[in-house]
C-alpha cells in the first residue's frame, strides 16, 4: 500500500466559524436564504446561526439556492449534522488544503464557500 490514512478531529467552533463566514458573504452569490427550521437546542445568540449550541445536537437549516433565469425562490436544500460531517469528509478527501484552512483559521470567504458546497451538495458546483 502506498498511502496512509488519518482521522482529524475538527472543533465545533471552527465549523461554526465557517458557517458564519459562508452566510455573511461566502455563499451569497448562489444562496438566497439561510433559515433555522428546527434543532435540539434553540439558538439564543444573535445572529442565530452563530450560536454554537445549535450545532451540538440534531438540527435542520433550510438553504434556498438561486435558480438562474427562472422566477420563484429557487431550489431548497437542508443542512443537517450528517451533511456537515459528509462535507468535512469530502474536504478531507478532495480539498485537504481547504480543510487545513478551516483548522488553522487561515481561510476566507472562498474557504467557507467550498465548505458549504461540500456540505450541501457533496461536491463543488459553483466558483
Mean pLDDT of 68-78: 73
Mean pLDDT of 67-95: 86
Residue 58 has pLDDT above 80, yes or no: yes
For all residues of the chain together, what is the average pLDDT? Answer: 91
pLDDT of residue 119: 97
- Give the pLDDT band of residue 70 (cuts 50, 70, 90): low
From CA 16, how far away is CA 27, in angstroms rounded? 15
Mean pLDDT of 58-70: 83
- Give the pLDDT band of residue 74 (cuts 50, 70, 90): confident
pLDDT of residue 73: 61
Residue 2 has pLDDT above 80, yes or no: no
Residue 95 has pLDDT above 80, yes or no: yes
Cell of 42: 434553540
- CA distances 110 to 27, 29, 35, 70, 85, Å, are 9, 11, 21, 26, 19
Which among 36, 31, 32 is positioned nearest to 51, based on CA atoms? 36
62 three-state secondary structure: strand
Q: Is the dihedral of CA 10, 15, 18, 22 positive or negative?
A: positive
Q: What is the pTM of this model?
A: 0.90
What are the residue boundaries of the structural domains of the chain, listed by start? 12-121
Amino acid at each position: 500500500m502506498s498511502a496512509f490514512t488519518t482521522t482529524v478531529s475538527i472543533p465545533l467552533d471552527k465549523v461554526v466559524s465557517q458557517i458564519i463566514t459562508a452566510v455573511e458573504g461566502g455563499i451569497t452569490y448562489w444562496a438566497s436564504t439561510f433559515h433555522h427550521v428546527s434543532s435540539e437546542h434553540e439558538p439564543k445568540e444573535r445572529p442565530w446561526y452563530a450560536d454554537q449550541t445549535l450545532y451540538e445536537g440534531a438540527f435542520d437549516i433550510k438553504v434556498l439556492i438561486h435558480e438562474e433565469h427562472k422566477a420563484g425562490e429557487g431550489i431548497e436544500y437542508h443542512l443537517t449534522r450528517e451533511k456537515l460531517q459528509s462535507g468535512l469528509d469530502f474536504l478531507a478527501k478532495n480539498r485537504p488544503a481547504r480543510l487545513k484552512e478551516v483548522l488553522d483559521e487561515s481561510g476566507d470567504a472562498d474557504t467557507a464557500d467550498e465548505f458549504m458546497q461540500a456540505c450541501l451538495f457533496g461536491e463543488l458546483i459553483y466558483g
